[in-house]
């Protein structure tokens, strides 16, 4: 069974933007994980959030290239996109409501719910909330 790593918008964006302060770090980690035959997991919400962010900051072409990368990567089992349904939304809502002490997004709460449900402990992100929730940086 292949190792799975959950990828957040922050990592995808840093990978797409060569001027991003985290670009080199994420690029090196990404290549290292590919060499280990890792499957990168994301949700349809992360896909939407990332494509929108890339389009707004970097333009139309880079956003389309990102979408193409994910689509092609699914065909060779490099990426797994989880389509969020009602069950995951309810679990995310519970996490979001329960954590009054931390101001993370609903998309983050959704990511945590899915990571727990799918037994994914590693993440690729520059968002400290993943570590706070007990996950390990890849």
Give the pLDDT band of residue 26 (cuts 50, 70, 90). very high
51/75 Cα distance (integer angstroms): 19
Kindly report the CATH number assigned to the domain that includes residue 9: 3.40.50.1010
Q: Which residues pair with 4 in a beta bridge?
A: 39
The pLDDT tens digits for 32-56 are 999 999 999 999 999 999 999 999 9
54/72 Cα distance (integer angstroms): 18
Is residue 65, in this structure, part of any structural domain at all? yes
Is residue 31, in this structure, part of any structural domain at all? yes
CA 27 from chain centre, in angstroms, equals 14
Is residue 43, in this structure, part of any structural domain at all? yes
- Structural domains counted in the chain: 1
- Average pLDDT of the chain, as a whole number: 96
Is residue 55, in this structure, part of any structural domain at all? yes
13/74 Cα distance (integer angstroms): 19
The pLDDT tens digits for 76-89 are 999 999 999 999 99
Q: What is the DSSP string of 5-72?
A: EEE-HHHHHHHH-TTSTTHHHHHHHHHHHHHTTPEEEEEHHHHHHHHHHHHHHH-HHHHHHHHHHHHH
Domain range for 43 is 4-83+121-129
């Amino acid at each position: 069974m292949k190792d799975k790593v959950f990828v957040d918008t922050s990592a995808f964006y840093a990978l797409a933007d060569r001027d991003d302060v985290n670009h080199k770090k994420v690029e090196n980690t990404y290549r290292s994980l590919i060499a280990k035959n890792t499957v990168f997991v994301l949700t349809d919400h992360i896909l939407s959030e990332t494509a929108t962010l890339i389009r707004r900051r970097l333009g139309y072409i880079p956003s389309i290239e990102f979408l193409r990368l994910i689509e092609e990567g699914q065909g060779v089992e490099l990426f797994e996109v989880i389509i969020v349904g009602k069950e995951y939304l309810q679990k995310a809502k519970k996490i979001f409501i329960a954590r009054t002490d931390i101001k993370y997004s609903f998309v983050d709460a959704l990511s945590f719910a899915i990571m727990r449900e799918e037994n994914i402990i590693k993440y690729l992100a520059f968002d400290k909330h993943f570590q706070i929730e007990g996950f390990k940086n890849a």
